[in-house]
Structure 1
Amino acid sequence: MTTIVADVGRCVGSGQCVLTDPDAFDQSEEDGTVVLLQDTPADDEALKRARTAVDICPSRALSLAE
């Protein structure tokens, strides 16, 4: 099972993940850093969106773990 991992300490709050998949990601109201809403993609399309979010994250704060 693939899970999404977010390193809040690295996050710069650009919000690209939220734009890519608002069902899985949100931003903290306090500092704008990533908040995981779903850490396990529900299906292949969700996994594809998660991979895109990982790839476009400017601070490399997101990763996928098997």
Structure 2
Amino acid sequence: MYTSWARRQRCKEGLVEKIASISGHIQFAALEIESEYMFGTLSGEKGMHRMIYSSVENSGTGETS
């Protein structure tokens, strides 16, 4: 999500660290995005973000990790 946004904005971006769970889902990721005024641009993006996976069994619900 953030890497594709950074590419569209023509920013220098890179994955600093990635930790996967036993099941293979991403448990933690740290990104570095370089551009002028980037701190101010992303200052509203605070806290933890969760990925929502579509549940095949229950089509109306999703699972967060």
Fold equivalence (TM over 0.5): no
**As a proportion of its length, which structure holds more helix?**
1
**Normalising by structure 1, what TM-score?**
0.27
1 or 2 for the larger relative contact order (CA 8 Å, sep ≥6)? 1
**As a proportion of its length, which structure holds more strand?**
2
Larger radius of gyration: 2
**Normalising by structure 2, what TM-score?**
0.27
